[in-house]
């Protein structure tokens, strides 16, 4: 009986050991013979297939399939994406499954600035035209700032190396720093080429007109300034996600020469690093530097100064704690993904959402004189909640300490919000 039991155990062990020999061979390196796409509603299948490198005639690699998800994510039209491989008789079939977000969405445009607080209004967003991705938004906002804006951004198509964007806005708000009613029209147009999936460069053209209801504010004596700016930008982006980055870099450098009512040069350096530390955990380190030539109030208008303090610059400090024509802001933020971003349906429409907890620390300086950089540093830190939602990217709810205790509401990643302050 003992021998039978022993022999039985040995037989089972031999069967388990030999099982991998009879298992289906791995798919890595096998030839791809077909691609099947499912879940499309408005976007053309040819657009999806053109974005991926896991295509017939090439060997299948998991690393390539993972990067294909990133390529599709950057189109900004899908709430969920999966790229999987299945064995077929003569090779590998790639299954691409997507969930489209609505093509045209009536929405509410929301903005929160440290100077004017919350403003909101109706908006319409379009994510594709004639089956091709294209980000177009028409928005209005009322409250802390009255604004009408048109924005267009080309998608990052891997088979098209030309990129472009354009923003035209007209706004009115009360400038709390200089105490005047500010009316402005702002045009920002950009056009360039991608040298690779990670690098792109281009030209920038801007027009900025500002009117004041108070004398002595503008550089021109008629209470109206007009500026034209020309320059260029270079950007590197290898983030693993467009919506919720977990790993990678996003860095850009741009320079502008401004003429008109004043003359000055501007240099912007924006660096962001997403570093994973564990499952669902990442550290985000960012730095933004803006330096301008000329004399503040003579060549550069004082209303274009940068004010630090608040949810979009240095949290834990009041708005206007530091001010100058130059700025430096740096942030380190730890995030823990409580609910990973995933798709869901509301009234038959597909959206996506997620939730993360955060702890952060900010430092910054704003100065006008060359010796004012080191003397103007302020800092703060705290904890917060990050809510990922469609079309907005992120809502931030923070509790911070520095010069007192402050609560804050922010729209978009802080790195995005602080960069949007830069014209």
**What is the pTM for the complete model shown?**
0.85
The domain defined by 188-420 folds into: Porin (2.40.160)
β 91-100/180-194 pair status = unpaired
Q: Which residues of the chain have pLDDT under 50?
A: 1-24
CA 33, CA 60: separation in Å to the nearest integer? Answer: 10
Pairwise CA distance, residues 285 & 275, whole Å: 8
Q: Tell me, what DSSP letter sits at residue 266?
A: E
Q: Using alpha carbons only, what angle is made at residue 373 by residues 368 and 376, rounded to the nearest 5 degrees? A: 95
CA 269 vs CA 36, 113, 233: distances in Å: 42, 22, 10
H or E stretch covering 147: strand 146-153
The pLDDT assigned to 15 comes to 41
Closest CA to 178 of 65, 307, 290, 332: 307
29: how many CB neighbours lie within 10 A of its CB? 10
How far apart are the C-alpha atoms of 268 and 190, rounded to whole Å?
15
Measure Cα distances from 410 to 167, 241, 360, 386, 388 in Å. 21, 21, 14, 10, 12
Q: Are strands 378-388 and 395-402 parallel, antiparallel or unpaired?
A: antiparallel
Residues in the chain: 423
| DSSP string for 88-116 | ETTEEEEEEEEEEPPSEEEEEEEEEETTT
SS3 content of the chain, % helix, strand, coil (to 5): 15, 60, 30
Q: How far out from the chain centre does Cα 346 lie?
A: 24
- The whole-number pLDDT of residue 350 equals 54
H-only helix segments in 55-189: 62-73
Q: Give the bridge partners for 50, in sequence order.
A: none
- Report the 10 Å Cβ neighbour count for 295: 12
pLDDT of residue 21: 40
* Nearest-angstrom CA–CA distance, 154 and 158: 12
Domain boundaries, the chain: 23-99, 188-420
Identify the CATH assignment for 23-99 out of 1.10.490.10, 3.40.50.300, 3.10.20.310, 2.40.30.110: 3.10.20.310
218: left (phi over 0), alpha (psi -120 to 50) or beta: beta
């Amino acid at each position: 009986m003992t021998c039978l039991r022993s022999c039985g155990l040995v037989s089972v062990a031999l069967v388990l050991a030999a099982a991998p020999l009879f298992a289906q061979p791995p798919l890595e390196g096998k030839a791809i013979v077909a691609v099947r796409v499912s879940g499309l509603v408005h976007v053309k299948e040819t657009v999806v297939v053109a974005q991926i490198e896991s295509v017939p005639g090439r060997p299948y690699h998991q690393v390539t399939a993972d990067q294909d998800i990133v390529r599709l994510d950057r189109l900004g039209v899908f709430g969920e994406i999966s790229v999987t491989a299945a064995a077929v008789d003569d090779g590998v079939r790639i299954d691409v499954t997507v969930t489209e977000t609505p093509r045209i969405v009536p929405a509410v445009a929301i903005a929160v600035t440290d100077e004017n607080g919350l403003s909101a209004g109706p908006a319409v967003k379009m994510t594709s035209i004639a089956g091709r991705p294209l980000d177009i938004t028409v928005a209005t906002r009322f409250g802390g700032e009255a604004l009408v804006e048109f924005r267009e951004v080309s998608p990052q198509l891997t088979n098209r190396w030309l990129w472009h964007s354009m923003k035209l806005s007209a706004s009115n708000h009360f400038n709390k720093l200089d105490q005047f009613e500010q009316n402005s029209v702002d045009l920002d147009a950009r056009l360039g080429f991608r040298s690779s999936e990670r690098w792109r460069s281009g030209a920038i053209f801007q027009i900025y007109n500002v009117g004041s209801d108070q004398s002595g504010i503008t550089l021109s004596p008629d209470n109206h300034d007009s500026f034209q700016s020309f320059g260029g930008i270079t950007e590197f982006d290898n983030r693993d996600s467009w919506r919720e980055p977990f790993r990678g870099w996003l860095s850009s450098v741009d320079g502008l020469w401004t003429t008109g009512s004043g003359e000055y040069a501007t240099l912007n350096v924006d660096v962001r690093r997403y570093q994973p530390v564990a499952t669902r955990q990442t550290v985000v380190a960012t730095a933004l530097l803006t330096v301008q030539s000329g004399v503040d109030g003579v060549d550069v208008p004082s209303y274009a100064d940068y004010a630090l303090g608040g949810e979009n610059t240095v949290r834990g400090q009041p708005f206007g704690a530091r001010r100058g024509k130059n700025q430096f802001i740096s942030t380190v933020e730890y995030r823990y993904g409580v609910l990973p971003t995933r798709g869901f349906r509301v009234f038959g429409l597909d959206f996506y959402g997620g939730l993360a907890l955060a702890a952060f620390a900010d430092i910054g300086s704003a100065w006008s004189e060359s010796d004012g950089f080191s003397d103007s540093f302020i800092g703060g830190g705290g904890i917060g909640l990050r809510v990922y939602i469609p079309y907005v990217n992120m809502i931030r709810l923070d509790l911070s300490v520095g010069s007192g205790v402050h609560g804050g509401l922010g729209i978009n990643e802080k790195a995005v919000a602080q960069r949007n302050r830069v014209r």
